[in-house]
């Protein structure tokens, strides 16, 4: 059995993944929706997640936007732009550096500012139950390092900052936010069932920011295990409330597989 992960999405096309004969844990069909930015936004809107406004053409940029690559690029090649001139300049610079290709399709959306929060879930089709595993923040280079450079020197630099993910750190949310966290997770699971059968089974992550009013805006989702769960190899604070033993995300997946095998329900957890 194959457990899908970020490298699989980054290195293989949707067609290649869907043609794999080995049983895949979860729903291999939903990975196409993760890889394609337009499909991704459609599923997020179907789940009633608040999402940033997309910008369909660079000539329509009239506010700060973030420009993203397709698929799971780990933030490498992403950049900010304030207008079309800024967009064209940075895009050409990244093409010259070999980070982007000339014919590469890019996705533009308004930039959502706030505290980064990557919400990690597990949905069990065996129990028909959603579990909130934990949350993390991602540390990106070299955009974070730019904050330590005085603005005078930043203005003189022609460097396009990168959003390449280097590592992760844990974050514990205010308790008052947890009700909405579960609601978003449940809405996403239900939307996935309607749109891409058999739905969002197994681990997934809803990614976004909390603004100054603690309102969440979701700019991504990952329909499989994410690297941020490695923070909690001995179990997360939230999972300690559900299990009387240390429970990592990897162990939780293994437990689901074991239960499915013992109850002859492997068809419920694989595609």
For residue 197, tell me if it sits in a domain.
yes
Q: Which of 66, 85, 111 is the last residue of a domain?
A: 111
For residue 210, tell me if it sits in a domain.
yes
Residues 213, 158 share a domain: yes
Residues 156, 92 share a domain: no
Number of domains in the chain: 2
Residues 63, 26 share a domain: no
CA 109 to chain centre: 15
Residues whose CB is less than 8 angstroms from the CB of residue 251 and which lie 6 or more positions away in sequence, other chains included:
none
**pLDDT tens digits, 62-76:** 999 999 998 777 788
Residues 78, 190 share a domain: no
* Coil, strand or helix at 247: coil
Which pair of tokens denotes residue 106?
Answer: 């890019």
Using alpha carbons, select from 39, 37, 93, 71 the residue that is nearest to residue 80. 93
**What does each C-alpha distance from 173 to 113, 155, 180, 230 come to in angstroms?**
17, 35, 11, 18
Rounded mean pLDDT of the chain? 95
Residues whose CB is less than 8 angstroms from the CB of residue 57 and which lie 6 or more positions away in sequence, other chains included:
none
Return the residue matching tokens 């996705």.
Answer: 107
Residues whose CB is less than 8 angstroms from the CB of residue 86 and which lie 6 or more positions away in sequence, other chains included:
61
The pLDDT-based confidence of 146 (bands split at 50, 70, 90) is confident
Q: Report the CATH number at residue 105.
A: 3.30.1490.20
Q: Which of 64, 94, 111 is the last residue of a domain?
A: 111
Query: What is the C-alpha separation between 58 and 4, in angstroms, rounded?
Result: 33
**pLDDT tens digits, 191-231:** 999 999 999 999 999 999 999 999 999 999 999 999 999 99
Residue 81: pLDDT above 90? yes
- Residue numbers of the domain that contains 207: 6-51+113-269
Q: Report the CATH number at residue 263.
A: 3.30.470.20
Which pair of tokens denotes residue 192?
Answer: 């996935």
**For residue 154, what pLDDT is reported?**
84
Which pair of tokens denotes residue 96?
Answer: 């010259």
DSSP string, 138-202: EEEEEHHHHTTS-HHHHHH------EEEEEEEE----GGGHHHHHHHHHHHHHHHHHHSTT---E
**Rounded mean pLDDT, 123-137:** 98
Residues 92, 62 share a domain: yes
Which pair of tokens denotes residue 247?
Answer: 């429970």
The pLDDT-based confidence of 161 (bands split at 50, 70, 90) is confident
User: Could you tell me if 111 and 80 are in contact, meaning their C-beta atoms sit under 8 angstroms apart?
Assistant: yes
Q: Which of 61, 86, 111 is the last residue of a domain?
A: 111
């Amino acid at each position: 059995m194959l457990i899908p992960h970020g490298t699989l999405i980054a290195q293989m096309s949707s067609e290649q993944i869907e043609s794999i004969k080995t049983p895949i844990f979860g729903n291999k069909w939903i990975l196409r929706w993760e890889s394609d930015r337009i499909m991704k936004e459609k599923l997020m809107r179907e789940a009633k997640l608040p999402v940033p406004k997309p910008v369909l053409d660079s000539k329509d940029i009239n506010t700060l936007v973030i420009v993203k690559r397709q698929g799971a690029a780990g933030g490498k090649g992403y950049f900010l732009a304030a207008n079309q001139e800024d967009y064209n300049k940075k895009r050409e610079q990244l093409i010259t550096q070999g980070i982007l290709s000339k014919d590469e399709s890019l996705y533009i959306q308004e930039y959502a500012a706030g505290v980064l929060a990557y919400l990690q879930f597990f949905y069990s089709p065996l129990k028909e139950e959603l579990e909130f595993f934990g949350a993390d923040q991602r540390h990106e280079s070299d955009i974070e390092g730019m904050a330590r450079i005085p603005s005078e020197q930043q203005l003189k630099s022609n460097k396009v900052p990168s959003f390449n993910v280097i590592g992760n750190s844990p974050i514990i949310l205010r308790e008052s936010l947890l009700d909405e966290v579960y609601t978003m997770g449940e809405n996403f699971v239900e939307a996935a069932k309607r749109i891409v059968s058999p739905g969002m089974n197994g681990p997934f992550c809803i990614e976004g920011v909390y603004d100054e009013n603690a309102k969440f805006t979701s700019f991504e989702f990952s329909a499989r295990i994410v690297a941020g769960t490695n923070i909690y190899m001995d179990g997360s604070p939230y999972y300690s409330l559900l299990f009387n033993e240390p429970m990592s995300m990897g162990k939780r997946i293994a437990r689901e597989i074991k239960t499915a095998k013992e109850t002859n329900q492997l068809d419920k957890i694989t595609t």
